[in-house]
Amino acid sequence: MGMKYIEMVKSIILMVLIGMSLVLTFLIWNSSPYETMGNRATVETMIAETPEKKDIDDMIKPYKIHFTFDESYKGTTDVDHIDYMLEFLKKWRMENPVLEDREFSQAKLNELLRSKNSIVFYYSDEVPLPVYESALSIENANIPEVSFRYVVVEWDMSRAALEIHFISKENGVRYTSAVKRVDAQSFFKDIVNVAKSYEDYAEVRPGSMHFIVVPTDEVHIVQNTYFPNEKDEINPTRFRNVLFNDPNAIRRSAVGTHREDFQDNHALMTIDTEKKQLQFVHPSVESYELAIPSELLEDAIDFINDHGGWTDEYRFSKMNFKTRYVNFKLYVRGIAVLGSNTPTEIEEVWGDDTIYQYRRPYYTLGDTLPSEAETITLPSGTEVAEALKKVEGIEFGLVEEILPAYYLHQDVELNIFKLEPSWFYKYKGNWIRFSLEQAGGENVGLE
């Protein structure tokens, strides 16, 4: 009996040891510190406190529209007016766009932009038509991989007809679509008559290279001061958690007074704590292949959607499918921030199926100071154009656009941001701030 009892105890102990071995093996497998492609360490983090996913309607909008009537122009940069007109553009049932002109020159473009009974929607850069299809009502859509910079709507209500032109300035092509079943009475009531209440615009350089129309009256824009506090500034560790494969394997180091680095064996994130900007680079995924424009823009928007990175109002600004670069610009109340002493753009460069470079601000504007808010009156666009013609060193024929927008000034010592309404002009591809000081109408300053 004694020997049988001992053998039974040995068997029980052996079974317990085997069980413990299996449990320990399972725990080791599931808590391994080594990352594999099939077992990536992830941390669920959203950048914005209340993350909001943006769709194409939010990210791609015209910055200006103008109407051409018999002998006059009406126009607006007001976001509410633009959204109102966009609603009709989205509702019109269009036929599939077809290529009408593969040699659409600048002269032809200017002629179309001046054409009577037309609406022009201005976009900041070439927009891939397959991406924008979701914001339109195109029947039997078979959209080619083409882009557009302008959308021009021509109307002929004598036969209740609308034609919509998608024009690529860069590629010199024009696609055209007809709109089905137009209600002429509703069109005049809801669109034409409404547009006649918009600001008076005038062409500032008839017969020249670039067609430009600007307001003929003074422009009124609200100036604001923002004071971000701790809750408004995004902790850079949030970006660490979404940009690196394994946030727990990151090495953090201070480099100088205003720089911090986060890195692993594959990628580096640099933080500028004064300008409140970060730059992330993942060298091993760099790609030199040409991107498909529509896929590149969709990937760029989805990437920021996925980590809740829209911390203020940003819109698509420009793209280069050859370098795989996409840029989103800061807007405030629908008005572009075209100049600043601090970063105001989100920039992406795409590699092999993932982000290669990512540069952006990590501040948010925060709350406004009501006591500092005031409406600023800017001179008319025609006055600015006339002053620009007299500035030495500027070839006025190369000016591409003149636009009221914001300059964002960051005061590091006071920790405030100030939005200053200003006139800007686009010259050789760059936006330049223009200030007009009247002293006999001759003193002009450039900033």
For the purposes of burial, counting CB atoms within 10 Å of the CB of 154, is it exposed (0-12), middle (13-18) or buried (19 or more)?
A: middle
Distances (CA, A) of 61 to 80, 96, 353: 12, 21, 27
Pair of tokens at residue 96: 């599939």
Beta strands in 7-146 (DSSP E): 64-68, 73-76, 93-94, 98-101, 118-128, 137-138
Give the SS3 label for residue 302: helix
Pair of tokens at residue 184: 């002429």
Q: What are the residues whose beta carbons fall under 8 Å from the beta carbon of 380, sequence distance 6 or more?
A: 214, 215, 216, 217, 218, 219
What is the rounded distance in angstroms from the CA atom of residue 360 to the CA atom of residue 428?
24
Domains of the chain, residue spans: 56-203, 221-225+368-446, 234-362
pTM of the model: 0.86
Name the CATH topology of 234-362.
TATA-Binding Protein (3.30.310)
Selection from 295, 282, 250 nearest residue 357 by Cα:
282
Specify which residues 44 forms β-bridges with: none
What is the rounded distance in angstroms from the CA atom of residue 168 to the CA atom of residue 175?
9
Give the SS3 label for residue 22: helix
Q: How many CA atoms lie within 13 A of 347 on its CB side?
A: 14
Q: For every one of its 447 residues, what pLDDT tens digit does the chain have, with 9 covering 90 and above?
A: 454 445 554 455 555 445 555 444 344 334 333 332 233 334 457 888 778 899 999 999 999 999 999 889 999 999 999 999 999 999 999 999 999 999 999 999 999 999 999 999 999 999 999 999 888 988 876 788 999 999 999 999 888 889 999 999 999 999 999 998 888 899 999 999 999 999 999 999 876 788 999 999 999 999 999 988 766 678 888 999 899 988 788 999 998 889 999 999 999 999 999 999 999 999 999 999 999 999 999 999 999 999 999 999 999 999 999 999 999 999 999 999 999 999 999 999 999 999 999 999 999 998 888 877 899 999 999 999 999 999 988 999 899 999 999 999 999 888 889 999 999 999 999 999 998 763 233 333 344
Pair of tokens at residue 220: 């009124």
